Chain A
């Protein structure tokens, strides 16, 4: 009963998003001039963010998952911070770190790199907020691998990197994919940090969530259509990438 009530509460807003609009509205929304650039930008930036996360996050998670050092546990906890920090605060923190007058601002300016208001800023904001989801899932997946498998692989002549690629990655695959899906969804929905750090410019920093908010100011129907697109994409991610329940092959 109680669970059903919560379920209804969770489902009704999503249903409302769909049933209170008509297919004509959605078509108009898809054709709205704001939609195509935002969609393209969202897809490219989230793909980039995910790439960065997988390339840099996987080795980090590998270390976190296998190390017994106290510092590893400490880092594992600290990495969760972006989950609880409000996105606007994350955006401000990024600005204060990488902005023109930020901590590293003069360094970056000296190197001719200007991050604020650029597409790179969008990617950084997404990486910042999505990283914990991937790293946590990957760490758990790596930590769950039987140590004996890794030791045996080494005794059979495999170097550590080879053990990672031939044993650990295939065995942690489910966890890694589930983490990547979550991280991608989070990056796709990222709004607050992007708005703060990257601004809102069509084709450059205006991602789908920013487009929804922008459209909301003038045309609620267009905003709703964009929101429907966003929800459909998110649903597809969840359906295709969610970890399959059932027997773990062991």
Chain B
């Protein structure tokens, strides 16, 4: 449905640019975890580029990729993992992706920490653990982390998994509500819910790093503005805003 909305917006945009001084529309497809940072950055960008209006389409990377593959008109695509970007590069729908942010998984527990999980090593103390399904990136990363931890750690943790959620925000919701004793999410998600959950770091030697690539679409109607938006992401200001949400510089 988003596609139709976007298409409508784009049509509207084209119609209105037929007169020279009318505002132009920049359409940015971005992974859902980028919401807060991108909403702020869109405002910054609009302030610096008079006459450009930024439209954000925030959804799962897989969903956005499917939309682009099916002909959705967009200028910029910011993905939460390399897999989906690589697929679009291969299909020649985007060019020259660049990593603009990194994100790391963390363990979260409810504020009152009912299972008294004090460190990553104590994760199996939680009797109800919620993780992502292996089909979504956070689920894949979780399994990688457990694998790297060695010994029977993975078996112990998986034995206490109460649910495999379909996206990272649902993992966060179940822990925030106190239904689950612990979960594994991206640091950025944990920081968006700081008042309800406590972050427990995963040791660097077992942790993985998720890379967020961004690219301008091959058929971007506003290619120049799109390149300027990517530049903003990579600039010191852009990185500062991303860091505030918990992202790490590339």
Contacts and interface: CB of A to CB of B under 8 A. Distances in A.
* Direct touching of A and B (C-beta under 8 Å): yes
Interface in B158-173: 161-166, 170, 173
A195 B177 contact: no
B200 interface: no
Contacts of A198: 163
Interface stretch (B74-82, B117-125, B130-138, B236-244): B130-138
A205 B163 contact: yes
Interface string B57-78: 0000010000000000000000
B135 A214 contact: yes
Contact of A217 (B133, B161, B177, B180): B133
Given A117-B162, A195-B170, A214-B166, A99 B136 contact: no
B55 interface: no
A154 interface: no
Nearest to A201: B163
Contact of B163 (A99, A199, A217): A199
Contact of B179 (A116, A195, A205, A215): A116
B170 A217 contact: no
Contacts of A187: none
Given A99-B177, A195-B170, A201 B164 contact: yes
B177 A199 contact: no
Interface in A82-103: 95, 99-101
Given A214-B135, A217-B133, A217-B136, A117 B166 contact: no
B161 A201 contact: yes
Given A117-B163, A201-B163, A214-B133, A99 B179 contact: yes
Interface string A122-164: 0000000000000000000000000000000000000000000
A80 interface: no
Contact of A218 (B128, B135, B173, B177): B135
A195 B128 CA distance: 16
A200 B164 contact: yes
A95 B173 CA distance: 11
A219 to B, nearest CB: 8
Nearest to B112: A101
**Residue in A99, A100, A213 with the greatest tally of chain B CB atoms within 10 Å:** A100
A100 B181 CA distance: 11
**Residue in B133, B170, B173, B180 with the greatest tally of chain A CB atoms within 10 Å:** B133
Interface residues of B, number: 20
Given A195-B170, A214-B133, A214-B135, A95 B163 contact: no
Contact of A200 (B128, B163, B179, B180): B163
B178 interface: yes
B174 interface: yes
B179 A95 contact: yes
Given A99-B179, A213-B166, A199 B174 contact: yes
Contacts of A199: 130, 162-165, 174
A214 B132 CA distance: 10
Contacts of A215: 135
A117 B135 contact: no
Given A199-B162, A217-B136, A218-B135, A101 B174 contact: no
A191 to B, nearest CB: 10
A129 B107 CA distance: 33
A217 B179 contact: no
Nearest to A118: B162
A15 B130 CA distance: 37
B164 A117 contact: no
Contacts of A202: 164
A201 B178 contact: no
A195 B132 CA distance: 13
A217 B139 CA distance: 11
Contacts of B135: 214-215, 217-218
A117 B179 contact: yes
Nearest to B165: A200
Interface string B115-156: 000000000000010100111100000000000000000000
Given A117-B128, A214-B166, A200 B133 contact: yes
23 contacts: A95-B177, A95-B179, A100-B178, A101-B178, A116-B162, A117-B128, A117-B162, A117-B163, A117-B180, A195-B165, A196-B173, A198-B163, A199-B163, A199-B164, A199-B165, A200-B163, A201-B162, A201-B164, A205-B163, A214-B164, A217-B166, A218-B134, A218-B135
Interface of A: 95, 99-101, 116-117, 195-196, 198-202, 205, 210, 213-215, 217-218
For the complex of A and B, the 4 pairs showing the least CB-CB separation, nearest first, are: A199-B163, A217-B135, A117-B162, A218-B135
